[in-house]
A and B are shown apart, each in its own frame.
Chain A
Amino acid sequence: MLTVEGLSAAYGSRKVLTDVSFHLENGKVLGVIGPNGAGKTTLIRALSGVIPLAAGRVSVNGQDLRKLSEPERARLVAVVPQARNLPAAFTGLEMVQLGRTPYVGWTGGLSLRDIQHVHRAMQRASALELADRRLGDLSGGEQQRLLLARALAQEAPLLLLDEPTTHLDLQHQIHLLGEVRSLAEHDGLTVVMALHDLNLVARYADQVALIAEGGLRALGAPQAVLDPELLSQVYHLPLQAIPGRDASRPIILPTVL
């Protein structure tokens, strides 16, 4: 359960997010959309606790993230970053094992329980066969699966994903988001993911948050937020809705297409 109250974030004197509030139940997926520079990534970073909040409060399962140490926070919030600049010499298994950092001492020794969790996380993210491969030899999609496994190894109830599909082809996009969907539905994880693709958001999110100019412009069910008129304003581009396979989830396309 994620509760965000009056969150504001700034880089120096430049305000990036102002007064964002929302609430997300366990097992639900929130898709965060918005134009470039609107503050999607900043929201993910603020929720993960790596940038100080200018104002407001983020709590996971009732615990205020600001009051927690790094390991305590990492047991509540796990992040799947974009797959880029990963250290090439590490193997898949070695990277996923680092997901146990919040549970191990500072020398990093793994207990039997840690090893079991690593195995389960890799299984869950369909990454078991990548265990002995070096990160430098893997495709973007394979790296992304391992990053998901690393985040799952943290056993955190809140999972944050920042543009996880950016470097993936269509097949891998659908596969990854299906996996995320099932983590929410079957494992009860609360998921916040920033995505560019409006139609993937429409398909895989329970709720959608539209961020524009540093504020929360709209929040609600996909069919409510993914309104061509509203989106046309925010993206400064005429958009149209085309009926999809599922009537409640129309497909949004620029009118030039």
Chain B
Amino acid sequence: MKPSARPYLIVTALLLFALALSVAVGSVFIPFPVLAELFAARLRGLAGPEQLHSFAVIVFDLRIPRTIVIALAGAGLSISGAAYQGLFRNPLADPYLIGVASGAGLGAVLAMNFGLAGKTLFGLLGVPVAAFAAALLTVALVYQLARVGHTLPTTNLILAGMAVSAFATALTTYLQLSTTSDLRRFIVLLVGGATMSGWQPVIAMLPYIAVGAAVLVNAGHALNVFQFGEEQAAQMGLPVERLRRVIVITASLTTAAAVSFAGVIGFIGLVAPHLVRYLWGGDYRRILPLSALAGAAMLLYADVLARVVQAPQELPVGIITALAGAPFFLWVLRRARQQAFW
């Protein structure tokens, strides 16, 4: 765990290639030289060659925003996952632990039931905004239920999260059965995948993910201290209650933003931090930023795959992350058994 730039260089290179690939690949393949030409024209403020106009629309209005949404979601889910795993000292903790996903699902189906699909709220599409609001409300409810005085015991938090999640999921299923509106979009949200196109979702989710990631990246030292248990952390001078609250709220907000605009994408928040920990050790000051970068890259590769396996039809990216993520996770688990890395 010596400080070194190598891990950062590796994941950044993987991320840059993933970004380029994600912009190039889709129902229409745009070769890299053409991409370079389009970017060069755009940077000089020109419209670009006439015959490339349709490519320019695809690249700048569809592919780039989608690529950013997917990258932000991957980064947000992975860094939140890493933070939850560190905070709860539980390798199975994931970004959905305290009910974010089921809350978002309930919000989305409620919005559809009230006929908000395709309509806008505050200039933003109604369904993701409703999902986001419901996710935050769910987390606030779980937090209130789990709270004992001024403390927030971990087991309470997880149990309250499970109970509230189950309740929200039951409501969602009931509403889903009685709804008449566009179920496919809802299913995409629940399985994971960008549910809307254009720059709107980018603008809507960027502030939350950026602030969340900035706060969490700086929580590395605190999470290192948390690895010794909360009692020792307090004895070492860490303001345990305050930091736990900051980390839980930040990670939940980040996850809620990711889920609401990119759907409930499983396994990324589990796999990326574990892979980083396995490759580069248990120091949270590096696990957090590396997880964000690696998670963004991994989700982009999964999304590219989702676009090409059944082209021209697109699969929800959540199917790919689960199909590839689960066996990969088991492989990491088997290899890691030789060295206690948890």
Contact = CB atoms under 8 A, between A and B. Distances in A.
Given A74-B235, A89-B340, A98-B224, 12 more contacts: A49-B235, A70-B238, A71-B237, A77-B235, A81-B235, A89-B277, A89-B341, A90-B224, A94-B283, A101-B237, A104-B221, A136-B339
Interface string B228-271: 11011011111110010000000000000000000000000000
B65 interface: no
A228 B59 CA distance: 87
B221 A87 contact: no
B220 interface: yes
Contact of B234 (A70, A95, A106, A107): A70
B232 A79 contact: yes
B281 interface: yes
B337 to A, nearest CB: 12
A73 B237 contact: yes
A27 to B, nearest CB: 22
Most-contacted residue by chain A among B219, B231, B234, B342 (CB, 10 A): B234
Contacts of A48: 234-235
Nearest to B285: A108
A49 B227 contact: no
A154 B237 contact: yes
22 contacts: A48-B234, A49-B234, A50-B234, A69-B239, A70-B237, A70-B239, A79-B232, A86-B228, A89-B282, A90-B1, A90-B224, A91-B1, A94-B224, A94-B283, A95-B228, A98-B228, A98-B236, A101-B221, A101-B236, A106-B222, A107-B221, A150-B236
Contacts of A50: 231, 234-235
A90 B221 contact: no
A233 interface: no
Interface string A142-161: 00000000100010000000
A74 B283 contact: no
A85 interface: yes
A184 interface: no
A85 to B, nearest CB: 7
Contacts of B221: 101, 104, 106-108
Contact of B342 (A74, A88, A107): A88
Main secondary structure of the interface of B (DSSP, over half): loop
Interface string A62-94: 000000011101110111010001111111001
Interface residues of B, number: 30
Interface of A: 45, 48-50, 69-71, 73-75, 77-79, 81, 85-91, 94-95, 98-99, 101-102, 104, 106-108, 136, 150, 154
Contact of A101 (B219, B225, B229): B225
Contacts of B339: 136
B200 interface: no
Closest 7 CB pairs of A and B: A108-B221, A74-B237, A89-B282, A102-B237, A87-B227, A88-B340, A71-B237
Given A50-B231, A101-B225, A136 B340 contact: yes
Contacts of A70: 234, 237-240
Nearest to A75: B237
B226 to A, nearest CB: 10
A102 to B, nearest CB: 3
Interface string B199-225: 000000000000000000011111011
Nearest to B283: A94
Contacts of B234: 48-50, 70
A234 B204 CA distance: 68
Contacts of B283: 89-90, 94
A95 B1 CA distance: 12
A108 B282 contact: no
Contacts of A81: 231-232, 235
A79 B238 CA distance: 13
Interface string B314-342: 00000000000000000000000001111
Contact of A88 (B219, B232, B243, B341): B341
Contacts of B236: 74, 98-99, 101-102, 150, 154
Nearest to B241: A70
